[in-house]
Amino acid sequence: MKNIAFSFKNVSFTHSNGQEALKNINLSASTGESIAIIGSSGSGKTSLLQLIATSLRPSTGSMAVFNVDPWAISKGQLQRLRSQIGLVHQAAPIPPRQRVITAVLAGRLGQWPFWKSLVSLIYPVDISGPQLCLQKLELADRLFDRCDRLSGGQLQRVGVARVLYQKPDLLLADEPVSALDPVLSDLTIQCLLADAQTRNACFVASLHAVDIALRWFPRIIGLRDGEVFFDLPASEVSESLLQQLYAAERGVLPKQDNVKTL
């Protein structure tokens, strides 16, 4: 029997400026599932991932991560819960003067004792682990480079390597291949999927390119105007549904060939 990785019940989220980003979301996902979230820009994909990551708190409704309400536990318990969640950002928040190996090691900072975290910022406490993660993404030769010497696409892969090194039980990715060409996009998605499957982790990715979502993910969630428009197996996502989902873009489906890469 699979365990629930996260669940939302009648969840809505409104930004501080009054803009409603998500409306009445009812979702759940099990450990071991791989899910793609698609939808037009502004549909709520990033807000949904940030709610799952406990970076944002629902305005209304209830949620649970690993059967725990993140907002009903102590700060220490919340910190431990967050250490089980890994989030790949579209633009990795990496200091430009930081070395690649240090950026990857940062994936474990929430799991290590304070002294080890502090030492890792001064001198690498592990070399082979980050090197292996970078090798999977064809970046092992940049292990000791400074991050400001990397391209946008290389930085994005460093962000992916950091989460691979973290080994979270809940793996989230916000547009993880937006700066990559088709070959590297597929390689990166395959690495994330394989990592999650190996550890029976739940993997949820928001994707701009519809073709990547349908090619690699068995479950597709379509968001439109902050609401779940559909939640279906990839095999049941029809061209007609996609045209309706992207009606605001005149039905033009965003695909990998149309995505600008760096």
Q: Is residue 118 part of a domain?
A: no
Q: Is residue 165 part of a domain?
A: no
Dist. CA 73–CA 71, nearest whole Å: 6
Cβ proximity of 201 and 171 under 8 Å? yes
Cβ proximity of 109 and 79 under 8 Å? no
Q: Which residue has the tokens 């991050």?
A: 147
Dihedral Cα 185, 262, 205, 120, nearest 10 deg: 100
Q: Is residue 208 part of a domain?
A: yes
Give the pLDDT of residue 159: 95
Q: What is the 3-state secondary structure (H, E, C) of 161-220?
A: HHHHHHCCCEEEEECCCCCCCHHHHHHHHHHHHHHHHHHCCEEEEECCCHHHHHHHCCEE
pTM equals 0.91
Give the pLDDT of residue 116: 59
What are the pLDDT tens digits along the chain (262 aa)?
469 999 999 999 999 999 999 999 999 999 999 999 999 999 999 999 999 999 999 999 999 999 999 999 999 999 999 999 999 998 878 888 999 999 999 888 766 555 455 556 665 778 999 999 999 999 999 999 999 999 999 999 999 999 999 999 999 999 999 989 999 999 999 999 999 999 999 999 999 999 999 999 999 999 999 999 999 999 999 999 999 999 888 767 888 765 444 4
Dist. CA 252–CA 243, nearest whole Å: 7
Q: Which residue has the tokens 């799952």?
A: 52
Give the pLDDT of residue 241: 95
Kindly list the strands in the beta sheet with 34-38, ordered across the sheet, starting from the edge strand earlier in the chain.
85-88, 170-174, 202-206, 34-38, 219-224, 227-233
Give the pLDDT of residue 112: 53
Q: Is residue 56 part of a domain?
A: yes
Q: Which two tokens stand for residue 252?
A: 């033009």
Give the pLDDT of residue 109: 75
Give the pLDDT of residue 118: 57
- As for how many domains the chain has, the answer is 1
Q: Where in the sequence is the domain holding 67, given as residue range(s)?
A: 1-84+203-262
Q: Is residue 235 part of a domain?
A: yes
Q: Which CATH number fits the domain that encloses residue 23?
A: 3.40.50.300
